[in-house]
Structure 1
Amino acid sequence: MTSDEHRGLSRRRFLGRAAGLGASAWAFPALVPARAFGAADRVRVGFIGVRNQGTNNLKALLSRDDAEVAALCDVDRDVLAAASNLVSDRLGRVVPSFHDYRELLDRPDIDAVLITTPDHWHALPTVHACQAGKDVYCEKPLSLTVAEGRTMATAARTHDRVVQTGSQQRSAPEFRRAAEAVRNGRLGTIRSITVGLPGVNFDGPAVPDAEPPAALDYNFWLGPAPDRPYNPKQVHYLFRFFWPYSGGQMTNFGAHHLDIVQWALGRDDSGPVHVEPVSVEYHPEGWYEVPRTSEVVYTYDDGVRVRCRQGLGDPSGIRFEGTEGSIFVARGRLQADPEELLSEPSGPDAVRLEESRDHHQNWIDCIRERRRPICDVEVGHRSATLCHLGNIAARLGRSIRWDPDRETIPGDSEAGAMLSRPYRKPWALDI
């Protein structure tokens, strides 16, 4: 199906499913399964986006006995063919492949979808999947804008779907232990939190615009993003360094580390009240659009300050400092001074955070048991919101206030307008 033909595909079926959405946006009903799962049943998963991390997710589920790779979708036919070959080599059979994700969602034999697309393609498939009665695993950052994230959370609640955000650090023991120590007051009063993000790993230099390769439906790849010429260094992995599609390392690694900060502070349903850009530097030759380096400070209503430093030489990870000691945590690394800060919490009042040792397993288990996953859509939305607010402040070059209850930027219409973005027609996030 060409990008022109997809315009005529039945969008109305999604709009019909969305009728009435919003009335229960803040309700939390019991999750209702699309089908009953027996002990031997496998969750049948369709994959939307199968390049890079999409391939990793595909391999992860191919190794499971409780999940079945049931369908594949990608707008690049070479990428789709490679994924199809991977699956057929592993399973000894070919699974259905699609160019348009909406055709995949129409299949009644699909229970859930795993979305690994560029960020500007997270919201539409997630909302449409919820409307189609499918559960969802959506890669981080959950959204491209704050408004998208709220819409995704609303869709999940209204249609009683299990929606996991791909912030897999929540399923790593070192991050849970660090967050648990903070939540139990082991560090005393928190003095500061420093988040280190890596620098931009753009494959420079920039190159001129060109004709898109025949294998890629570039118009469909753009989707709701503004129309702009194809550039080979603005697609696939490098999309994340251009504003129409992503938000740089702030939304890439920041979505991971700021998520753990929110968890440790017990702010999964909230956020900071003030965001200040201390420093922002862009590439001198404009190879990409997002900041080359930046430091953004988030302040919470209790005075806790989080310094998020990107590309400034800090180790990638999180340092919590309090009156009783400090903890540094990164992937595969957990250090405390003194070491006893990390001893297991005990007593009837001890805070025990949810434990997950496998992010995909947690999602599959929650689908079968109809419960919220460890990085539920609301959690993913709130964590992504920090990233978006940091980028808004950095782009404006000034501080902004944030009302986490109303999810607004009070008294600042220019900043408030950046909480959402218009969609290129005919795409619309209708709910």
Structure 2
Amino acid sequence: MLRRNFLRGALAAAASPLVVRSSALGAGRPAPSNRVAVACVGVNNMGGQHLRTLLGTPDAQVVAVCDVDAQVRGAALQAAARAYGSDAFCAGYNDFREILARPAVDALVIAVPDHWHAIISLQALRAGKDVYCEKPMTLTIAQGWTMIETVRRLGRVFQTGTQRRSWSQVRHVCELVRNGRIGRVLRASAGVGLNNRECGPTWEPEPVPPGFDYDLWLGPAPAEPYHHLRCHYAFRFILDYSGGQITNNGAHWTDVVQWAFGKDGTGPLEIEGRAEWPTSGLFTTATDFECTYTYADGAQLTLSPRGGAPRFEGAEGWVSADNKADPPSILSSAIRPDEVRLYDTRGETHMQNFLRCIRTREEPAAPVEVGHRSASVCHLGNIAMMLGRKVKWDPAAERFVNDPEADRLLFRAMRSPWHL
């Protein structure tokens, strides 16, 4: 079974010590111009959306784009040339490390496969750059520990790409839950979507396309033969690079639930998961699943492929993050000045919030600790499903309770020469 092979390898590799580099290259500050100089690393799919947003943002200047796919990189450079009326303002790179050597780059916007998030973010932070990193913030829980320590030690601005933190509607729903409008919170549920079922047992390796740096795309992940469904969007369905929909769409929903539950600095105590796993083929994430998390106050969260935005059920009604409620009057309830009020971006988009915080050095809407805890909920669900049993979690120590087998899954080995 593919899950068993992955699990066996992960447990064995995790027995090796985690190598953490602790170099710090200075605090740095934004360039003294009217625009924040931004480099976009990963400019396909969500990265392409970020690029288009930044090209239309007056207080940002995209000075570099980076992608291991020459075709994608070329299209991004053309988009920048059209936006700026010249191809002289934005340079293209295959390797993100070349960008880090440029002192005039203030910030990186990172939208690459999950297995690269921590490495690129950490190298950027140590090079004195502020970072916007797409969700999930990390591939493992242990990577989050290093991310938090590095951001705080260096005083950098770090924004996690959980954009719903900047949606006024979602903030209001979370405030309603936090302020007791549905009574005592009993449970929340959310649907994250099904993992891909394509690319079955008959898949064959393919030639690497010209202009695609496949070895650099793999980076810290195990060396495997190329197939087009291993890369771009479908990487999400292979455990070497991601965690499936539970770390994809699920990362948004766990973030909203953590916010509404008031658990940004902690997490659940128990996690129970069931899953159906592929037995052959390219994709290795669960084909169907359900995870239930129990928090210290007894509130529960259930994630499965079915459903939609988080729905919060309480003793006196329910409300959902897509602006529905029963009774409907819950939604029109105003939050009083003396009640819990959550971070308000006041009309800014998530990216605008990041850019402003680069200038002001304030905390952004989705800082590193929030990104770590929200991603941890996703990772905990996958670990419970991989082990096929209930696990108990100590959110203060960030270790499983008397469970060395589960603790080993907090880490992943990396292919040489890559490390944190």
Kindly indicate whether the alpha-carbon contact (under 8 Å) linking 1:393 and 1:400 is maintained by their aligned counterparts in 2: yes
Give the aligned partner of residue 28 of structure 1: none
1:41 to 22, 34, 44: 34
1:244 to 240, 243, 253: 240
Label 1:338 to 1:90 Cα distance change in 2 as closer, same or farther (>3 A). same
Say if 2:124 is the partner of 1:129: yes
AA aligned to 2:94 is H
- Give the TM-score normalised by the residue count of structure 2: 0.90
**TM-superposed deviation, 1:69:** 0.5
Kindly indicate whether the alpha-carbon contact (under 8 Å) linking 1:116 and 1:139 is maintained by their aligned counterparts in 2: yes
d(CA) in 2 for partners of 1:16, 1:253: 32
Give the aligned partner of residue 338 of structure 2: 349
Give the aligned partner of residue 323 of structure 1: 315
- Give the TM-score normalised by the residue count of structure 1: 0.88
RMSD: 1.8
Kindly indicate whether the alpha-carbon contact (under 8 Å) linking 2:197 and 2:287 is maintained by their aligned counterparts in 1: no
d(CA) in 2 for partners of 1:118, 1:348: 42
Say if 2:210 is the partner of 1:214: yes
2:137 aligned counterpart, secondary structure = coil
Any stretches of 5+ residues in structure 2 without a counterpart? 1-19
Label 1:171 to 1:35 Cα distance change in 2 as closer, same or farther (>3 A). closer
- Residues 155-204 of structure 1 deviation map (CA, whole Å, 9 limit, x = unaligned): 11111110100011111122111111001111111121111111124554
d(CA) in 2 for partners of 1:36, 1:80: 25
> What aligned pairs does 1:118-157 form with structure 2 within 5 A after superposition?
118-157=113-152
> What aligned pairs does 1:27-66 form with structure 2 within 5 A after superposition?
34-35=29-30, 41-66=34-59
2:97 aligned counterpart, secondary structure = helix
AA aligned to 1:387 is C
Give the aligned partner of residue 29 of structure 1: none
Between 1:170-179 and 1:282-291, the stretch displaced more is 282-291
Matched residue pairs, number? 396
Say if 2:390 is the partner of 1:395: no
> Between the two proteins, what is the percent identity of the paired residues?
44
**TM-superposed deviation, 1:349:** 2.5
AA aligned to 1:315 is G
**TM-superposed deviation, 1:91:** 1.0
Say if 2:266 is the partner of 1:275: no
Give the aligned partner of residue 3 of structure 1: none
> What aligned pairs does 1:218-233 form with structure 2 within 5 A after superposition?
218-233=214-229
Between 1:199-208 and 1:420-429, the stretch displaced more is 199-208
Kindly indicate whether the alpha-carbon contact (under 8 Å) linking 2:30 and 2:358 is maintained by their aligned counterparts in 1: no
> Which of structure 1's runs of 4+ aligned residues deviate more than 6 A?
none
1:177 aligned counterpart, secondary structure = helix
Between 1:287-296 and 1:257-266, the stretch displaced more is 287-296
Label 1:36 to 1:44 Cα distance change in 2 as closer, same or farther (>3 A). closer
Kindly indicate whether the alpha-carbon contact (under 8 Å) linking 1:48 and 1:74 is maintained by their aligned counterparts in 2: yes
Kindly indicate whether the alpha-carbon contact (under 8 Å) linking 1:345 and 1:351 is maintained by their aligned counterparts in 2: no
Kindly indicate whether the alpha-carbon contact (under 8 Å) linking 2:56 and 2:83 is maintained by their aligned counterparts in 1: no
Give the aligned partner of residue 3 of structure 2: none
d(CA) in 2 for partners of 1:93, 1:420: 45
d(CA) in 2 for partners of 1:347, 1:97: 50
AA aligned to 1:160 is G
Give the aligned partner of residue 303 of structure 1: 298
d(CA) in 2 for partners of 1:292, 1:198: 10
Say if 2:368 is the partner of 1:359: no
- Residues 63-108 of structure 1 deviation map (CA, whole Å, 9 limit, x = unaligned): 1101110111111111111111111111122211111111101101
Give the aligned partner of residue 23 of structure 2: 17
- Residues 301-321 of structure 1 deviation map (CA, whole Å, 9 limit, x = unaligned): 1111111112xxx32211111
d(CA) in 1 for partners of 2:333, 2:36: 35
AA aligned to 2:23 is R
Say if 2:147 is the partner of 1:158: no
d(CA) in 2 for partners of 1:281, 1:170: 32
Label 1:410 to 1:49 Cα distance change in 2 as closer, same or farther (>3 A). same
d(CA) in 2 for partners of 1:381, 1:154: 11
**TM-superposed deviation, 1:288:** 1.4
